[in-house]
Amino acid sequence: MERLVVANWKMNGSIKLVQEFHSLQNNPKTTTIICPPSCYLPLLKPSSFKLGAQNCHQAEKGAFTGEVSPAHLKELGCQYVIVGHSERRTLFQENDSLINQKAAQAIEHGMIPIVCVGETYLERQEGRFKQALLAQMDRALHNLDSQKYVIAYEPIWSIGTGLVPTNKDIEEVLEMIHARLGRSAKIIYGGSVTDKNILTLSQISNLDGVLVGGASLNIKTFQTIIDAF
Ligand code: PGA
């Protein structure tokens, strides 16, 4: 099984980092996807990796000052686009219905949306995380072909916090998602993935890869994560 290793630079990085990443080495067992801020997309020359975006607008074009359309991303060589990241949901008020439109547009333009879902700390503590995740998936993936997207399971409490669920906890969620969407649905994990915990995470046999935030901003650390598979 080929695993996905996705770098989400968020609103970080620089032209210098872009240049450094041109020496990233491929691991034949993985597909590496770099998602820089969209202004850097034309500067990153995909070689050992593929290009992805961190977000897209739900319309193909129009009077939406400041937005980037899926058609633009496709033209710049993006093959993937992250939609519904929890930062988009909480800081930019994106809901599942909007995320569903974005994912549909990405597919329409020949890209693979990486659709993020994840529970809050409270939902996990109170044992409501399964319902919360299923509800997000049912709305955000409505009417989409499960062969045409990747799901990123990103517990909100683990993003940028250093807290990572146990492999057993992740396996439980994978099991639930597969039961809902079918065995062939691709699911990756994100939230505080580092060069220190990647060997543990890579033991999860039916995990299709990882989404890496902070640890993807350093080429050495990120290379270690790629090489762990
Ligand atoms: P993190 O971010 O690896 O820094 O926790 C992951 C993400 O937000 O996608």
Q: How confident is the model at residue 46 (pLDDT cuts 50, 70, 90)?
A: confident
The per-residue pLDDT for range 132-155, each reduced to its tens digit, is: 999 999 999 999 999 999 999 999
- Give the Cα separation of 160 and 171 in Å (integer): 21
Q: What do you get for the CA distance between the two ends of the chain, in Å? A: 10
pLDDT by residue (tens digit) across 80-124? 999 999 999 999 999 999 999 999 999 999 999 999 999 999 999
In the annotation, is 154 catalytic? yes
Please tell me if the CB atom of residue 84 comes closer than 6 angstroms to any atom of ligand 1. Answer: no
Neighbour count for residue 162 (Cβ, 10 Å): 11
Residue 224 has a pLDDT of 98
| CATH assignment of the domain containing 210 | 3.20.20.70
Question: Is the pTM here over 0.85, yes or no?
Answer: yes
**Annotated catalytic residue 178:** no
**Given 57, 72, 85, 109, the catalytic residue:** 85
Distance 53 CA to ligand 1 centre (A): 15
Closest-lying ligand 1 atom to the alpha carbon of residue 215: 3
CA of 190 to the centre of ligand 1 (A): 6
Percent of the chain having pLDDT more than 90?
98
Burial label for 11, CB within 10 Å (0-12, 13-18, 19+), is: exposed
* pLDDT at site 196: 97
Which pair of tokens denotes residue 84? 């519904």
Total Cβ atoms within 10 A of residue 79: 16
Q: How many domains does the chain have?
A: 1
- What pLDDT, in 10s, does the model give residues 149-204? 999 999 999 999 999 999 999 999 999 999 999 999 999 999 999 999 999 999 99
Per the structure, the complete domain to which residue 52 belongs is given by 3-227
